[in-house]
Amino acid sequence: MGRLIEEIYVWRLPVRLYHWINAFSIVALVVTGLYIASPVINPPLGEAVWQHNFVMWRYVHYCVAFVFTGNFLYRMYYALLSDDRYAKFGGFRPWSPAWWGKPFREQVESYLFLRQDEPNYVGHNPVAALAHFIFIFCGSTFMILTGMAMYAENRPGSFMDAAFGWVLPLFGSSYNLHYAHHIAAWIFPFYVIVHLYAVFRHDIVDRTSVTSSIITGYKHKVEDEAAA
């Protein structure tokens, strides 16, 4: 193991808090959501009026959904209005051809074993930024819009209906809306597997202690043994 030569404070507390609230909400939402879709637990004994077995799953899904939404908006606010350069996604410019140029290509090549060295980034690497954008930014926005629209269905004429009711006709029918929310839920388990693998692998290959960085906030650079 090389000597520890540098310590950089990358993820400030708001980002770390966001990350863990987000991670726990997503796990809870996927589990309760899939349970809502196919309730498997055996029915309770006794009179229906005294039981709330199924309605509790929905209740938890909605409570967590609002935490998740608030947390997401908070992260957007922090990205836009803070001066935290590692949180701003400032370098993320997928509309400019330059962004898809060298750094992105190098990172992809490295993932595809086409090059020996591993590019190193203090903040997000460009491939990670793209993945966060597609799965987390677009994915969360989609789940929030469809989720809120379904939530609004419970109360026609309410504030929620006025705010999100317009989403339903875009999908053609209530059923399609539920279906879209359901199938899109699967992107999250998919993302988590890829995300965790990428994090652990980077940690092992680059030894920048990226895994613990999302808890402590610090990334470390170690001296390369071969070069030492």
Partner 1 sequence: MPTKQTFAEVFQSRGLSRRDFLKFCSLTSVSLGLAPSLVPKVVHAMETKPRTPVIWLHGLECTCCTESFIRSSHPIVGDMVMNMISLDYDDTLSAAAGHQLEEVRKKIMKEYNGQYILAVEGNVPTKDDGVYCMVGGDSFLNVLKETAAGAAAVIAWGACASFGCVQNADPNPTGAQPIDKIIKDKPIVKVPGCPPIAEVMTGVITHVHTFGKLPELDRMGRPKAFYSTRIHDKCYRRAFYDAGMFVRGFDEESTRKGWCLYKMGCKGPTTYNSCSKIQWNEGTSFPIGSGHPCIGCSEPGFWDKGPFYTRLADVSFLGTDTTADKIGMVAVGAAAAGAAAHAAVTAVKKKQHDKEQEQ
Judged by the rule CB under 8 A, the positions of this chain that interact with partner 1 are 34, 37-39, 41, 43-44, 48-55, 111, 113, 116, 153-154, 156-157, 165-166, 168-169, 172-179, 182-183, 185-186, 189-190, 193-194, 197, 201, 205, 226
Q: Residue 85's closest CA among 195, 6, 11, 7?
A: 11
Answer with the entry of ligand HEM, partner 1, none that 44 interacts with (C-beta below 5 to 8 A by kind). partner 1
Is residue 148 at the binding interface for ligand HEM, with CB under 6 A as the rule?
A: yes
Is residue 213 at the binding interface for ligand HEM, with CB under 6 A as the rule?
A: yes
Give start and end residues of each alpha helix (H) in the chain.
Answer: 13-37, 53-81, 102-111, 126-131, 139-153, 159-164, 167-171, 174-185, 187-206, 210-216
Answer with the entry of ligand HEM, partner 1, none that 181 interacts with (C-beta below 5 to 8 A by kind). ligand HEM
Looking at beta carbons only, is 81 or 226 nearer to ligand HEM?
A: 81
CB 27 within 8 A of CB 61: no
Q: Scanning residues 1 to 20, which ones bind ligand HEM (CB under 6 A)?
A: 15, 18-19
Looking at beta carbons only, is 12 or 115 nearer to partner 1?
A: 115
- Least distance to ligand HEM, CB of residue 11, Å: 7
CB 107 within 8 A of CB 126: yes
Answer with the entry of partner 1, ligand HEM, none that 22 interacts with (C-beta below 5 to 8 A by kind). ligand HEM
Is residue 219 at the binding interface for ligand HEM, with CB under 6 A as the rule?
A: no
State the Cα–Cα distance between residues 153 and 135, nearest whole angstrom. 26
What tokens does 215 get?
A: 């808890």
**CB neighbourhood size of 148 (10 A):** 19
Collect all residues with Cβ–Cβ distance below 8 Å to 87 and sequence separation of at least 6: 11, 12, 14, 15, 78, 79
Answer with the entry of partner 1, ligand HEM, none that 131 interacts with (C-beta below 5 to 8 A by kind). none
- Least distance to partner 1, CB of residue 163, Å: 13
DSSP string, 176-207: HHHHHHHHHHTHHHHHHHHHHHHHHHHHHHH-
What's the distance, CA 9 to chain centroid? 22
In one-letter notation, the amino acid at residue 170 is: L
| Chain positions contacting ligand HEM, by CB under 6 A | 15, 18-19, 22-23, 26-27, 29-30, 33-34, 36-37, 58, 61-62, 65, 68-69, 75, 87, 124, 128, 132, 136, 143-144, 147-148, 150-151, 178, 181-182, 185, 188, 192, 195-196, 199, 210-211, 213-214
